Amino acid sequence: MGDCHRTNWLSCRFVIAVLLLVLVLPGCGEESAGRSSEPISVSNVLRGDAAQAFARVEEPREFIFPADHGPHDEYRTEWWYFTGNIDDGEGQRFGYQLTFFRFRPKADETGSASRWRTAHFYMAHFALTDINNEKIHTFERFSRGAAGLAGASTGALHVWLDDWSAGTTSTETFPLRIRAREDRIALDLNLQQGKAVVLHGDDGVSVKNSEPGNASYYYSYTRMPTEGRVSVGDRIYTVQGNSWMDREWSSSALGKEQLGWDWFALQLSNDHELMYYRFRRADNAPDRFSYGAVVLPDKRVHTLGFDQVELDVLDTWVSPGSGVIYPSAWRLRVPEYELDISIRPALADQELDLSFRYWEGAVEFDGTFGASNVGGRGYVELTGYGTDSAPRTR
Amino acid sequence: MPAPVIEFRHLSKSYWEADQEHVVLNDVNGEVHEGEFIVLFGKSGCGKSTLLNLISGIDAPSRGDILVEGQSLTGMSEDERTLFRRRHIGFVFQSFNLIPTLTVRDNLLLPLELTGQLDNGGRTRLADMLEELGMAHQMDYYPDRLSTGEQQRIAIARALIHIPSIILADEPTGNLDHDTGQDVLNLLDQLVRRAGRTMIMVTHSREVIGLADRLMTIRDCRLEESNRE
Amino acid sequence: MNNILFRSSRHFFLRHPWQLGLAVTGIALAVAVVVSVDLVNQSARYSFERSTETIVGRATHRIVGGPAGLDERLYTRMRVDHGVRDIAPVIEAHVTLEKNEKRETLTLLGLDPFAERTFREYAWFNNLQNPEGEGVFIPMLTERNTVLLDAVTANRLGIGRDDEAVLVTGGRSIPVRIAGVLADSTPGSSQSPDSLLLADIATAQEVLGMPGRINRIDAVLGDGDSRAKSTLEALLPDGAALLPSTTRTRSLKQMTGAFHTNLTALSLLALLVGMYLIYNTMTFMVMQRRPLLGRLRALGATRWQLGAIIAMEALLVGLAASIAGLLLGVALAHGLLQVVNRTINEVYDLLTDSSLTLSNLSLLKGALLGIAGTLLAAIPAALEATRVTPRQALIRSHLERSARRLVLPTSLAGVVALGAGITVIQLSSPSIELGFSGIFIIILGITLLIPLVTVVLMACLKPLLGAGFGISGRYACQSVTASLSRTTAAIAALMIAIATVIGIGLMVNNFRLSVDRWLQQTLRAEMYVSLPSTGTTASAHALDAGFADAILALPQVKAVSSVRRINIESSRGRTELAAYGLNETAWKGFQFKQGEADEIRPAFEQEDTVIVSEPYAWRHGLKQDDVLELRTDNGYRSFRVLGVYKDYGSDQGVVSLSRRTYERHWRDDRYSGFGIYTLPGTDMEELRSQVQQLAPGRDLWLQDRNKILQTSLEVFDNTFVVTDILRVLAAIIAFIGVFSALMALQLERSQEHALLRAMGFLPGQVRRLIMSETGLLGLVAGLLAVPVGCIITALLILVINRRSFGWTMELHFSADIVLQGIALGLAAALLAGIYPAWKISRAEPAEALREE
């Protein structure tokens, strides 16, 4: 439980750098597209207004839904983030991730008669882990938030980039329909709300480090019943499972000393959910802005400070593609809840080697919760691993 | 004694070739009388042709004087020498005597045209000459249809047709075989000698030397005279 | 043995430096002309491919619309609703960029970088000339009027990064900032951009004033991916079409193809003449050395050794000349390129690279042509050398005698060639290349007839000249016939040169006359107003009906006619369409080759009909009452062709229809220009300022009729600058050839002249003889050149121009060309006779005679 303001959001530094890289070097992109060859250092590429020019996250605010499902244009970055574990009931298991990022490099806006002129740019990641066939499919797209090509509608949850989309299908917010398709992989799912919305940090203000104003507004839906279809090549699977949705927006960047984070979103078999992220520091000291939350079956939320969660890495995995070493098994304990679980990835190689490189994948875990046994599935995200911490292109 | 037809005194001729002076004739003296047949003898390239050229006015001496028929050539301009030569000299060369693009007839008419003798007298002479040569039927031939011997005979006719006072012949039989050459020499003898005209001939033929009145030898760029041996 | 042979060659060359020099110069010039034209043609071709690659990129197809382009929402629908991936929106227009008092026309490309991954080679983006390597895309995408400029144009205009410049389009001036300079080609990238302005698609829409519209959507479809193709086609609205990209390159090449073919033909003419030079020189050199050759044979050289010697000499000459020619050709090409580019830009409204592409293939071709031509031309001489026997060496006349025997067979061959040439022309329509081949064969035939004509002419002239000048007169005539093989070659070359000069000049004159007459008839209004021709028809900047009404409201204005010019792309290529709003007077401007003006008018105005210009009818095989399909905003529609009219304005041809018909089938309410009809006695200057005031701040193109006439003819003259240059060059080469031939002829007769001098010919007399001989040759050449020149003119007008461009022209021959021809011939020949005449009169006959 915390009165401290923690931050969890994908580092602004990374996102900005990624988007800018992408915009400077349009040669990068999807799984199969060609790459340009020259690495560009982040500082050279970064060019946009300083964080000070945008609206800043400083105080709690009232969250109004469905309005707040829409974009918050006055902030620099924002995303809509979906992950989930689904299966077809006959043993075929999948994990998926679909994320839409909004980025605004300049605080000022020029009016124009052209519908292509905009201040906002979008990036989307789509990953499908085919656990049985031990394969992960990853895709990346970019667009401008204009001319109807990409964007997010105001007042409701509806975000899209080309023909990938996530949004409401009726006057009601839920069920959400998320759709993504590329090459011969397709996803078409309906997500119910499940548990109520969870506001992270201090009533939704999630502080990331000690510099003032470095925080984000952050909420999640932690257990969303899901059903729909997954296509892999010629095969279509009818699936169901649970999804997790994260929403976050802010204007400022991570600190220099923070190299990256490990983020866990776990859905326990006893109707609890656990979200935890910890920052990894250059000096290897624990980062006190690491943060966690437990969502109880009665929908109450208890926050966890950095000293309330113990996380040990049990194993590592070397990526054959990039040579980066990632942790590959953990033991997570929350003494307060007598929670002790060991977590394993459903598939070792769930690395996304796109405009920036990170590991994000479906995991499964089991252990004890108090007196009883507990298990479940979830998603883990590992960023900032590798010899160079700056995003690069191959 | 009447004045000599040709007289040359202290005649010298040299020409320049690449900054070097080649002396061809050095202080040559001599005279030729009317009706004489002179043979010019000497090694090849020692100036025989040059002397002929000087006498005919084709060339001008470097030093000395030439008098032909009492007129000094050295005082004349080239045009004047040309006009003089036209009238007074007849030339027979070793080869290339005839204009190949003119008929035999036209070749013979050319000197007549030059000297303004295209009147009946001239034309009669032409017809007579051809008759005498036995070549009247070849009047309209072009030189390339004639044998070399025939060409030379026409050449002689051409050299004589304008009744020049002096005939200069530069190895006229040089390209001919012995018999044809004999014919040519006979013709020369007949038309020139018997007619009492002056002739200077350059030749190597010993036989011709035997026919000459006098022999002039050029040796070491100098002239030696001797009577025929 | 070989040593002696080579030394004799070298010695010979040194003694006749003139001959050698002239031959080398002639061939070098000929090679230079051929190479330069080829380089320029290749440059243009590469430049089209490059600009196409830049502008088309790797797109295999494109989706195009009508005059107003495409609705941008089509693109969004395809991407978002239907998930189509490999497509990209494109805006393209010509604009003018001004800086430092200089201006250039460039292509403005408005792109969406996000969609462009598959389409364009962006290696040059990585090398943006930014020292700190800062990104330019954020500014490009978020700020207005921010563009990227290619390095070559930036250099020319003196612009660097972050500089400001002024972009002019549709009469409007817009300040822009150059956010970056696109680098020169990088290793691994084959294309480097030239004359390119790159902007974000939003910027392009703003600058060109076309919100909501784009020009086209580029697409990459896999080979044989017919399913993707039909999917795309199903999504297209009426008025849009899916076309393969190749049509663009194809139509670019086709547009200027005729132009380039004509250039090449001219250059080949130069080569032909150069070959004649070699023939002449080689033959002369053999003739001069016959005694030597004969002696060499006597010493034991085989015939083939002698022939080989000549061939070797020819090869060396050819090699040296070709190398010199290559260097000269490259230099010439640089200059020629500027002229050709300007022509292409003005006439075809296309941009071509200003830098020369040095194609190794062109250089190799030129060198090989030079060497091959030299060897070919030396064959007769080499063969002649092999035929020399020891005895014959002394008889010059042998060659000529055999030449004379060949007169009749040659003439026969000439007649056959004439017939063949005429047949080729008759049967080869519409091929331009075959048309030129036919002309060359006809010229060859005429050339083969020259010996006969010469002999006959000399035979006729001889008695005349003999009567007038005596033996000398006959002598001159006879010399011509005596050296027939050489004199006819000289006559032929001179004749061709003069005939070409006359023929092409006459053709251009006729053309100009036709254009002038046509302009006089077509321009009916007193004043014309339009926007400078940059931008795109999709732009909203175009003139509108309100402007026309305002003009009509002016007191001096009696009537206003209108025109709208657009380009329609369809699977058949590009069609230029002109929609006219005409009154009675304006209608009279059309001169119909097919169709009666008065009968046509009602149907033209009311029904779905068109009239087409001559070139269009020619290229598409259309005549009156045929049906033409055009792609309208409602899909393909049929239009009846009412008539064919004369139009020199475009060699691709134009399809014209009435404004009413146009508005029925295309959604477009704009105009390209208006014709203003004024009351008599109107002050043009005053009217001009009044009209300008009706559109303040816009840069209008406003011209009165006379000025247009004058400017058009200037453009015409500019267009033919290239032709003129090549014509003059060919003539120079020919004259060089003739010069050397005639000189050789005289110089080799030095002994003959010496004989004359010995016989008492004055120097002046010999000079006159020489001059009259060459003069005769010139006379014959000049006389022959007149009909040949006329034939060339007729063929150029009736065959080449017609097939290249589809135009018919008037054919007038003026009397003074006869005089021109003869005068030119005499002048050239007499000029050629001057040097030998001078030389002979200077030489002491003694020297010549000493050579015996």
* pLDDT value of residue C201: 94
Sequence-separated contacts (24+) of C842-847 with Cβ below 8 Å: C843/C750, C843/C754, C844/B58, C844/B59, C845/B58, C845/C753, C845/C754, C845/C757, C845/C758, C846/B50, C846/B53, C846/B58, C846/B59
With CB atoms and an 8 Å threshold, state whether C126 touches A25.
Answer: yes
* pLDDT value of residue C347: 66
Within an 8 Å CB–CB cutoff, is residue C576 touching chain B? Answer: no
Q: How many CA atoms lie within 13 A of A139 on its CB side?
A: 18
What 8-state DSSP symbol labels residue A213?
T
Q: Which of A168-172, C250-254, C583-587, C665-669 has the lowest mean pLDDT?
A: C250-254
SS3 (DSSP) at A296: coil
* pLDDT value of residue C70: 92
> Is pLDDT at A180 greater than 90 in this prediction?
yes
Residues C725 and C810 in one domain: yes
H or E segment and range at residue C248 = helix C246-288
Residues C733 and C828 in one domain: yes
Chain B residue numbers touching C479 (CB-CB < 8 A): 101
Q: DSSP per residue over C477-505, as a string?
A: HHHHHHTHHHHHHHHHHHHHHHHHHHHHH
**pLDDT interval class at C253 (50, 70, 90):** low
| CB-count exposure of residue C570 (10 Å: 0-12, 13-18, 19+) | middle
> Is pLDDT at C3 greater than 70 in this prediction?
no
Is A389 part of any domain?
Answer: no
Task: Give the Cα separation of C838 and A114 in Å (integer).
Answer: 81
With CB atoms and an 8 Å threshold, state whether B101 touches C475.
Answer: yes
Is A2 part of any domain?
Answer: no
> Is pLDDT at C762 greater than 70 in this prediction?
yes
Residues C378 and C428 in one domain: no
With CB atoms and an 8 Å threshold, state whether C758 touches B113.
Answer: no
Is A202 part of any domain?
Answer: yes
Q: Which of B121-125, C189-193, C357-361, C603-607 has the lowest mean pLDDT?
A: C189-193
Residue carrying the six token digits 């969250």: A63
Residue of B nearest to C481 (CA): B101
Distances from the Cα of C240 to the Cαs of C235, C389, C500, C504, in angstroms?
10, 80, 50, 45
Task: Identify whether the C-beta of residue A58 lies closer than 8 Å to the C-beta of residue A213.
Answer: yes
pLDDT (average), residues C765-793:
85
Strands C102-111 vs C87-99: parallel, antiparallel or unpaired: antiparallel
Is A393 part of any domain?
Answer: no
In chain C, positions 667-706, which contact chain A (CB-CB < 8 Å)? Answer: none
What domain count does chain A have? 1
> Is pLDDT at C468 greater than 50 in this prediction?
yes
> Is pLDDT at A380 greater than 90 in this prediction?
yes
Q: What is the pLDDT of residues C283-329, one digit of tens each?
A: 777 766 777 777 777 777 777 877 888 888 888 888 888 899 899 98
> Is pLDDT at C683 greater than 50 in this prediction?
yes
Q: Which of A357-366, B40-49, B152-161, C419-428 has the lowest mean pLDDT?
A: B40-49
Chain C residue numbers touching B95 (CB-CB < 8 A): 852
Q: Minimal CA–CA distance to C314: which of C384, C377, C271?
A: C377
Chain A residue numbers touching C198 (CB-CB < 8 A): none
Task: Identify whether the C-beta of residue B42 lies closer than 8 Å to the C-beta of residue B90.
Answer: no
Query: Whole domain around residue A243: which residue ranges?
Result: 12-383
Is C707 part of any domain?
Answer: no
In chain B, positions 16-55, which contact chain C (CB-CB < 8 Å)? Answer: 49-50, 53
Residues C367 and C391 in one domain: yes
With CB atoms and an 8 Å threshold, state whether C135 touches A23.
Answer: yes
Is A4 part of any domain?
Answer: no
User: Which one of A26, A112, A115 has the shortest CB-CB distance to C114?
Assistant: A26
Q: Which CATH number covers residue A227?
A: 2.40.370.10
User: Which one of A44, A117, A162 has the shortest CB-CB distance to C83?
Assistant: A162
> Is pLDDT at A66 greater than 70 in this prediction?
yes
* pLDDT value of residue C845: 62
**pLDDT interval class at A131 (50, 70, 90):** very high
Is A17 part of any domain?
Answer: yes
Is A7 part of any domain?
Answer: no
Task: Identify whether the C-beta of residue C631 lies closer than 8 Å to the C-beta of residue C598.
Answer: no
Number of Cβ pairs < 8 A linking chain A and chain C: 104
Residue of C nearest to B89 (CA): C759
- Residue C615 makes CB contacts below 8 A (sequence gap 6+) with C647, C650, C651, C652, C653, C805, C806, C807
Q: How far away is chain B from the Cα of C463, in angstroms, using its nearest Cα? A: 13
> Is pLDDT at A127 greater than 90 in this prediction?
yes
Q: What token pair was written down for B218?
A: 């050029």
**pLDDT interval class at B118 (50, 70, 90):** confident
With CB atoms and an 8 Å threshold, state whether C762 touches B82.
Answer: yes
**pLDDT interval class at C714 (50, 70, 90):** confident
* pLDDT value of residue C655: 94
- Substitution target from A40, A117, A122 for chain C, most C beta carbons within 10 A: A117
Percent of chain C beyond pLDDT 90?
15
Tell me the ipTM for this assembly: 0.87
* pLDDT value of residue C59: 81
Chains C and B touch (3+ CB pairs under 8 A): yes
Is C633 part of any domain?
Answer: yes
Task: Identify whether the C-beta of residue C534 lies closer than 8 Å to the C-beta of residue C670.
Answer: no
Amino acid letter, residue C233: E
> Is pLDDT at C165 greater than 90 in this prediction?
yes
pLDDT (average), residues C600-625:
91
Domains annotated on chain B, with CATH: 6-227 (3.40.50.300)
* The last residue of a domain, from among C665, C699, C733: C699
In chain B, positions 183-202, which contact chain C (CB-CB < 8 Å)? Answer: none
User: Which one of C83, C205, C211 has the shortest CB-CB distance to A181?
Assistant: C83
User: Which one of B49, B83, B109 has the shortest CB-CB distance to C471?
Assistant: B109
A201 or A236: whose pLDDT is higher?
A236
| CB-count exposure of residue A335 (10 Å: 0-12, 13-18, 19+) | exposed
> Is pLDDT at C434 greater than 50 in this prediction?
yes
Residues C547 and C629 in one domain: yes
Query: Whole domain around residue C537: which residue ranges?
Result: 532-699
Residues C227 and C345 in one domain: no
Q: What mean pLDDT value characterizes chain A?
A: 82
Chain B residue numbers touching C763 (CB-CB < 8 A): 78-79, 82
Task: Identify whether the C-beta of residue C122 lies closer than 8 Å to the C-beta of residue C136.
Answer: no
Residues C576 and C691 in one domain: yes
Residues C538 and C658 in one domain: yes
Backbone phi, psi, residue A126, to 5°: -135, 125
**pLDDT interval class at A189 (50, 70, 90):** very high
* pLDDT value of residue C269: 74
Q: What is the pLDDT of residues A265-322, one digit of tens each?
A: 999 999 999 999 888 887 777 788 888 999 999 888 899 988 899 999 999 999 998 8
What domain count does chain C have? 4
Instruction: Provide the H-helix boundaries in chain A.
Output: 12-24, 42-45
Within an 8 Å CB–CB cutoff, is residue C58 touching chain A? Answer: no
With CB atoms and an 8 Å threshold, state whether C202 touches A20.
Answer: no
* pLDDT value of residue C664: 92
Q: What is the crossing angle of helices C303-348 and C2-15, to 10°?
A: 50
A26 or B119: whose pLDDT is higher?
B119
Upstream peptide bond of A225 is cis (omega within 30 degrees of 0): no
Q: What token pair was written down for A125?
A: 């990641």
Upstream peptide bond of C451 is cis (omega within 30 degrees of 0): no
Task: Identify whether the C-beta of residue B58 lies closer than 8 Å to the C-beta of residue C844.
Answer: yes
**pLDDT interval class at C153 (50, 70, 90):** confident
Chains B and A touch (3+ CB pairs under 8 A): no
Residues C670 and C542 in one domain: yes
Task: Identify whether the C-beta of residue A97 lies closer than 8 Å to the C-beta of residue A181.
Answer: no
Residue carrying the six token digits 């679980």: A341
Q: What mean pLDDT value characterizes chain B?
A: 84
Which residues are A332's β-sheet partners? A311, A341
Within an 8 Å CB–CB cutoff, is residue C291 touching chain A? Answer: no
Within an 8 Å CB–CB cutoff, is residue A153 touching chain C? Answer: no
Q: Minimal CA–CA distance to A246: which of A275, A271, A272?
A: A275
Q: What token pair was written down for A311?
A: 């996380």
Residues C473 and C426 in one domain: yes
Which residues are A185's β-sheet partners? A182, A232
Q: Minimal CA–CA distance to B146: which of B95, B195, B194?
A: B95
Residues C726 and C801 in one domain: yes
Q: What is the pLDDT of residues B164-181, one digit of tens each?
A: 889 998 888 877 888 888
Task: Identify whether the C-beta of residue C158 lies closer than 8 Å to the C-beta of residue C102.
Answer: yes
- Catalogue the E-assigned strands of C297-448: none
Within an 8 Å CB–CB cutoff, is residue C746 touching chain B? Answer: no
- Residue C444 makes CB contacts below 8 A (sequence gap 6+) with C414, C417, C421
* pLDDT value of residue A376: 95
pLDDT (average), residues B64-92:
87
Residue carrying the six token digits 């042979």: C5
Chain A residue numbers touching C57 (CB-CB < 8 A): none
Q: DSSP per residue over C108-156, as a string?
A: EEEE-GGGGGGTS--HHHHT-S-TT----HHHHHHSTTEEEEEHHHHHH
Q: What is the pLDDT of residues C13-61, one digit of tens each?
A: 777 777 778 778 878 888 888 888 888 888 777 776 666 666 666 788 8
Within an 8 Å CB–CB cutoff, is residue C81 touching chain A? Answer: yes
Amino acid letter, residue A241: G
Q: What mean pLDDT value characterizes chain C?
A: 81
Residues C668 and C727 in one domain: no
Chain C residue numbers touching A33 (CB-CB < 8 A): 117-118
**pLDDT interval class at C549 (50, 70, 90):** very high
Is A260 part of any domain?
Answer: yes
